[in-house]
Amino acid sequence: MSDGSLLALTLAQARDGLVRKSFSAREFALAYNDAVEEAKVLNAYITPTPERALEMAKATDARLARGEGLPLDGIPIAVKDLYCTKGVLTTAASHILDGFHPPYESTVTSKLWQAGAVMLGKTNLDEFAMGSSNTTSWYGPVENPWHRQIGSPKGDNRPLVPGGSSGGSATAVAARAALAATGTDTGGSIRQPASFCGIVGMKPTYGRCSRWGVVAYASSLDHPGPMVRTVRDAAIMLRAMAGHDPKDSTSAPVPVPNFEAALTGDIRGLRVGIPKEYRVDGMPAEIETLWRQGAEWLRSAGAEVVDISLPMTKYALPAYYIIAPAEASSNLARYDGVRFGLRVERGTLDEMYEVTRAAGFGAEVRRRVLIGTYVLSAGYYDAYYLKAQRVRTLIMRDFAKAFEQVDCILTPTAPSAAFAIGEKTEDPVAMYLNDVFTVPANLAGLPAISIPAGLSGEGLPLGLQISGRAFDEETVLRVAEVLERAAEFRHVPSFVAGDRG
Amino acid sequence: MIEGRTGPWETVIGLEVHAQVISKAKLFSGAATDFGAEPNTQVSPVDAAFPGMLPVINRFCVEQAVKTGLGLNAKIELESVFERKNYFYPDLPAGYQISQYQQPVVGRGKVALDMPDGTTREIGITRLHLEQDAGKSLHDQHPTLSYVDLNRAGVALMEIVSEPDLRSAEEARIYLRKLRSILRYLGTCDGNMEEGSLRCDCNVSVRRPGHPYGIRCEIKNLNSVRFVMQAIEYEARRQIELLEEGGVIDQQTRLFDSARGITRPMRSKEEAHDYRYFPDPDLLPLVLDPEWVERLRAELPELPDAKKVRFVSTYGLSSDDASVLVAEKETALFFERAAGHDPKAAANWVMGDLFGALNRLGVGIDESPVSAEQLGALIDLIADGTISGRLGKDVFAEMVATGTDPAAIIEAKGLRQVTDEGAIAAAIDTVLAAQAEKVAEYHAGRDKLYGFFVGQVMRATQGKANPALVNQLLKEKLSGK
């Protein structure tokens, strides 16, 4: 098989091809190592690990030869550089973690390696996962492999953002420089970049995947999850990532179903909710149209589409931008120059702290640490943090009520397609608005998936989002797969690795 | 009550005691907690707050806290919450301490104090919460650098907060001793102040008797009972002087300078911390099973107050003696093992000769050279007349020196008491014959000489004569019967 056709395989296809020995894990890893190299211009990776990929592929081939293949054997995976990987530089895309090589492996990546997956490298992200454009990385912005069509209204071919914070993972998967990738989603950081890059990204239920060994941004909102090419791939990868972890007190002691088995294609009689509050001002008509189209597809497949109300939706974003920075301000206190990472020496302890953190953290991280410190401080706690927590409870109640009526909820993933690098960086609030449809599921801890459903007028991918009940990823995946079949999204970005003719 | 220049003042004291939980592992990590280990050898990535590390509560530490709460007659909260207390310091790796703030695991309780005048004072417990200890900053290892030892970072502490019910340094001392005693009975804290497993912050204010509470100052981190008392006394006098000069008290945190015996401000208002407490999102609320709590309650050991009541009723001890004997669990245990047929004698021996000997040797009762069984045997040997009480003291001294059984000492030294009336009468005759002059003086009215004759007889029998028989026979002889 040519590199190009190898790289075009989905995870499910590659899994079967490896088992049938149509190609070896080594061939596959070599093709992907080349792809990583070829896609370097997109800056998707901070640290490629080609040697490790080959070592792991060798072990896969040995297992496959013995007929002892594992669920993800030989699948080349990129790891968001927020997951600690033993002995491999882990940066969170921050200067402050310079030279940090964790002496431990995160639970989720351990599970992936135990399932036979092959590590391609560590992908770029917004610094400490704070951002929606992957432009806040110390290692530079990531480029979206998609470009606006020449002659489209904005009429330019400027590099676009991949979304964020898991922008490197999204770009790698879209550009075929990784078959799959891990992401983390605190306010939309898996789903929004998946939407921008035309791939599938899933945030499972809070507690489904362990956070142990994942650098914390906002602990009560951080969700590890898969970023892949298809819904089936998401089901396969999520199964390997999920499971109770006694090292994470917030990990849920519930069994992990065979998610792939849930993809029956049958959604007859399922009730799909359309929340009226998601028709926000300024959302492009084409997104509204696509949303309606999505509802129509599901209705044609036998689902019942129901109008619902989630009245607290408009408070989700403000509540998120209080709770997340509050937790972040505390979570990031450990980066103090004392034990690991960057230290800028100064005469006194306080000066060392100040100069190290000023040098180590970028503007967006500093902004959120400041906001978080402010909302937790004496005299402001009740008005901000406590009130935001109350809003969070009300949002959960909204969803609980909605799920008495419906089995899942269909919305757009993001209010726009990918924008140009530098386009919204001057206005943090405009940037925060990217998360308006994704944040509620984080606040409520519910599973949600984004699938590519169509193209914008400029030829850029647009995603639709299915959210479901807690620990009912199966319904979410089942509906998403039906949507995926109906949408028949076959478009390919302008840059894909292995496309050398 | 302290007499000031302008009248009497009352000192009001509340204590916050930080008691290190007896546990092999830390509160939120599996790392060990041995005292005195090489620096930074008992540190897990969780304790060092490495990226992505998460805390997991140690069930045993929770059990210890609940037991302590039960021992303090306190309300056990079935749901409590861990919060983060945020501040920067190198010995606090995460930049926050995991503690409990609004919802502690133990609520209100009380401790009964035995006062020197025989009365009992009840001191309220406000709360008990679990928290992590910080590491240790070492400022004396290098001329310009500070070193950090994280062995202690993450070790479980119980912070036990009292109501402002204490009224003097002496009451604070009695409270601390009682608290320490309860903790040691429960096996939840070893109470060792030298090793830092019991540390104390004192809140001190003064007021005119009957007036509302004054403004308090908090004196941080006192690591001995003596320092607690000195700090309270100094601080109360400082506040009284200030008030009598027309000044006002600044609510502030102060440090005790043990070298100079004074307290001084620790940080100014501008440097006051805003700890930005909020619930730790890495930990779920701590929910206790009420049945489990009841099981712990049922399994609680007998505590000093109950033991004291039992010692008085079962052994007929005085309340004072019982108080002394129950203060330390080991003493009470020793006493009960030695009590045998004569508990009162056992109490006297333990509180008298044994305490004296242990003091001289500088050892605790658990290292006593004389076992409880040996002391019990000695008491029996005196009671059955094998030796006299006076010789008993000598035998005891020998037991302390050699650890030998009393019977063996008596045998080896031939100390068995003489109860042969003939032999004693003969000895009396010899003494009276040799002291004819004194006998005459005695008959002339110098009654005091009686004791002298007893002494001479005992000397003649190497102390082995049964004192009662000596008395009886001597009286008969002297009265000419």
Is there a contact between B52 and A106 if contact means CB atoms under 8 Å apart? yes
Structure tokens given for A260: 């792939």
A92 touches chain B (CB under 8 A): yes
CA closest to A377 among chain B residues: B276
Please indicate whether residue A110 is annotated as part of the active site: no
**Calpha distance A228→A238 (Å, rounded):** 10
What are the pLDDT digits (tens) for A261-304? 999 999 999 999 999 999 988 889 999 999 999 999 999 999 99
B51, A102: Cβ pair inside 8 Å?
Answer: yes
Annotated catalytic residue, options A24, A80, A133, A424: A80
* Cβ-Cβ contacts under 8 Å, B135 against chain A: none
What's phi and psi for A393, nearest 5 deg?
A: -60, -40
A218 reaches B (C-beta below 8 A): yes
Asked about A80 being catalytic, the answer comes back as yes
Among A67-76, A428-437, B49-58, B123-132, which stretch is predicted with the lowest mean pLDDT?
A428-437
Rounded (10°) CA dihedral A141, A146, A150, A152: -90
Could you tell me which residues come within 8 angstroms of residue B118 by beta carbon, excluding any fewer than 6 positions away?
A: B319, B320
Please indicate, yes or no, whether residues B42 and B92 belong to a single structural domain of this protein: yes
Overall domain count for chain B: 3
Q: Which A residues 381-440 touch B at CB under 8 Å? A: 381, 385
Q: Contact B50/A102, CB-based, under 8 Å?
A: yes
CA neighbor of A378 nearest in space, from B86, B272, B276: B276
What chain A holds in terms of domains, given with CATH numbers, is 3-272+405-487 (3.90.1300.10)
pLDDT of residue A224: 98
Last residue of a domain, one of B280, B295, B310: B295
Which of B239, B266, B295 terminates a domain? The answer is B295
* Residue A168 pLDDT: 98
In this prediction, residue B423 carries a pLDDT of: 85
Quick check: A333 and B88 CB within 8 A? yes
Asked if B281 and B307 sit in the same domain, the reply is no
Helix, strand, coil percent values for chain A (each to nearest 5): 40, 15, 45
- Give the integer Cα–Cα distance in Å for A34 and A177: 8
User: Is the model's pLDDT at B214 over the cut of 50?
Assistant: yes
Residue from the list A90, A104, A338 with its beta carbon closest to the beta carbon of B45: A104
The reply to whether B428 and B401 lie within a common domain is no
- In tens, the pLDDT along B418-456 reads 778 888 888 888 888 888 888 888 888 888 888 888 888
Residues B409 and B425 in one domain: no
* pLDDT at residue number B238: 96
> pTM, whole model, 2 decimals?
0.91
Q: What is the 3-state secondary structure (H, E, C) of B132-143?
A: ECCCEEECCCCC
Quote ipTM for the complex. Answer: 0.96
User: B50 and B189: one domain?
Assistant: yes
- Is B86 in contact with A219 (Cβ distance < 8 A)? no
Q: Are A225 and A190 in contact (CB under 8 A)?
A: yes
By the 10 Å C-beta count (0-12 exposed, 13-18 middle, 19+ buried), B1 is classed as exposed
pLDDT for A501 equals: 43
Q: Taking CA atoms, what residue in B is nearest to A381?
A: B276
* Residue of B43, B53, B273 to mutate, testing the A interface (most A Cβ within 10 Å of its Cβ): B53
Among candidates B57, B148, B284 on the partner chain, residue whose Cβ is nearest the Cβ of A250:
B284
What pLDDT score does B464 carry? 81
Distance CA B462, CA B457 (A): 9
Q: Are residues B13 and B150 in the same domain?
A: yes
Contact A103 B93 (CB under 8 A): no
Same domain for B117 and B141, yes or no, is yes
Residue of A nearest to B90 (CA): A338
Joined tokens for residue B10: 């009352």
Smallest Cβ–Cβ distance between B49 and the set A219, A250, A334 belongs to A334
- The rounded distance, in Å, linking the Cα atoms of A433 and A418 is 13
Q: Give CA–CA dist A424/B460, Å, rounded.
A: 112
A373–B95 C-beta distance less than 8 A = no
Question: Rounded CA gap, A80 and A85, in Å?
Answer: 10
What is the β-pairing status of strands B253-257 and B262-265? antiparallel
Average pLDDT over residues B364-387: 91
DSSP notation for B93-107: TTSEEEEE-SS-SB-
Which structure tokens are listed for A78? Answer: 């990129």
Q: How far is B276 from chain A (nearest CA, A)?
A: 5
Probe site for chain B from A331, A357, A365, A369 (most B CB atoms < 10 A): A331
**Which residues of chain B lie closer than 8 angstroms to A102, CB-CB?**
50-52
CA of B206 vs chain A CAs: smallest distance (Å): 28
The confidence band for B269, taking pLDDT boundaries of 50, 70 and 90, is low
Question: Which chain B residues touch A382 with a CB distance below 8 Å?
Answer: none
Q: Say what the pLDDT of residue B474 is.
A: 87
d(CA B56, CA B306): 36
Cβ contact A126:A164 at 8 Å: yes
Angle at A399 between CA A216 and CA A484, to 5 degrees: 80
In the numeric block, the tokens 């005790």 are attached to B256
* Domain-terminating residue out of B395, B413, B431: B413
Q: Rounded to a whole number, what is the distance in angstroms from the first to the last CA of chain B?
A: 65
SS3 content of chain B, % helix, strand, coil (to 5): 40, 20, 40
Cα distance from N-terminal residue to C-terminal residue, chain A: 14
Strands annotated E in B275-386: 278-279, 286-287
Contact A234, A228 (CB under 8 A): yes
The residues pairing with B15 across neighbouring beta strands, listed in sequence order, are B202
Same domain, B99 and B129: yes
Which residues of A, range 158-217, sit inside 8 Å of B by Cβ?
Answer: 211-216
- So what's the pLDDT on residue B198? 94
Q: Which of A396-405, B147-156, B189-198 has the lowest mean pLDDT?
A: B189-198
Best probe of the B interface among A323, A334, A387, A393, by most B CBs < 10 A, is A334
Q: Which amino acid is at A205?
A: T
Indicate whether B212 and B358 sit together in one domain: no
- How confident is the model at residue B61, as a pLDDT? 98
- All residues at 6 or more sequence positions from B217 whose CB lies less than 8 Å from its CB, including other chains: B203, B204, B205, B235, B239, B249, B250, B251, B252, B253, B254, B263
The dihedral over CA atoms of A312, A314, A315, A319, expressed in degrees to the nearest 10, equals: 130
A247 touches chain B (CB under 8 A): yes
Mean pLDDT by groups of 10 residues along chain A of 501 residues? 88 96 97 97 98 98 95 98 98 98 98 98 98 96 94 76 97 98 98 98 98 98 98 98 98 98 98 95 92 98 98 96 98 96 94 97 97 96 97 98 98 95 79 91 98 96 98 98 98 90 43
Q: What is the pLDDT of residues B13-36, one digit of tens each?
A: 999 999 999 999 999 998 999 888
Residue A394, helix vs strand vs coil: helix
Place of tokens 């049945």: B291
Active-site option among A24, A106, A137, A165: A165
The answer to whether A339 contacts B283, with C-beta atoms less than 8 Å apart, is: no
Contacts of B281 in chain A (CB under 8 A): 218-220, 250, 327
Residue A467 and residue A462: Cα distance in Å, rounded? 17
Mean of pLDDT values over B129-141: 94
C-alpha distances in Å from residue A118, one per residue of A234, A243, B220, B464: 17, 20, 55, 92
Q: Touching check for B138 and chain A: CB below 8 Å?
A: no
Average pLDDT over residues B385-400: 88
Distances (CA, A) of A214 to A329, A390, B47: 17, 27, 16
Q: Are B8 and B115 within one domain? A: yes
Catalytic residue among A110, A137, A166, A189: A189
Give me the total of CB pairs closer than 8 Å, taking one residue from chain A and one from chain B.
99
Cα–Cα distance, B395 to B401 (Å, whole number): 10
Residue of chain B nearest A91, judged by CA positions: B51
Predicted pLDDT at B270: 63
Same domain, B339 and B467: no
Contact A249 B95 (CB under 8 A): no
Same domain, B228 and B360: no
**Hey, are the CB atoms on B278 and A215 less than 8 Å from each other?**
no
Q: HEC states along B17-84?
A: EEEECCCCECCCCCCECCCCCCCCCCCCCCCCCCCCCCCCCCHHHHHHHHHHHHHCCCCECCEECEEE
Chain B residues within an 8 Å CB radius of A96:
none
Determine the pLDDT at residue B253: 92
| CB B21, CB B64: distance < 8 Å | yes
| pLDDT (average), residues B109-129 | 95
Q: Which residues contact A315 (CB under 8 A, 6 or more apart)?
A: A391, A394, A395
Looking at the complex, report in whole angstroms how far the Cα of residue B286 sits from the nearest Cα belonging to chain A: 11
**CA dist., res. B430 & res. B426, Å (int):** 6
Which long-range contacts (C-beta less than 8 Å, at least 24 apart) are formed by B343-348? Answer: B343/B314, B343/B315, B343/B316, B343/B317, B344/B315, B344/B316, B344/B317, B345/B379, B345/B382, B345/B383, B346/B375, B346/B376, B346/B379, B347/B315, B347/B317, B347/B321
Tell me whether strands A76-80 and A180-185 are parallel, antiparallel or unpaired. parallel
Residues spanned by the domain of B445: 421-478
Q: Which secondary-structure segment (H or E) carries B311?
A: helix B304-315
* Nearest chain B alpha carbon to A340: B50
Is B121 exposed, middle or buried (CB count within 10 Å of its CB: 0-12, 13-18, 19+)? middle
Q: How far apart are CA A19 and CA A236, in angstroms?
A: 15
Report the pLDDT averaged over residues B66-90: 97
pLDDT digits (tens, 9 = 90+) for A296-305: 999 999 999 9
CB proximity A377 to B under 8 Å: yes
Q: Across the beta sheet with A180-185, what order do the strands follow?
A: A45-48, A118-123, A76-80, A180-185, A223-228, A200-203, A448-455, A461-468, A408-412, A271-275, A304-308
* Tens of pLDDT, residues B319-353: 999 999 999 999 999 999 999 889 999 999 999 99
Contact check, Cβ <8 Å, B278/A213: no
- pLDDT of B268 reads 64
Task: Give yes or no for B82 touching A (CB within 8 A).
Answer: no
Distances in Å between the Cα of A481 and the Cα atoms of A242, A259, A265, A273, A488 are 20, 12, 7, 17, 11
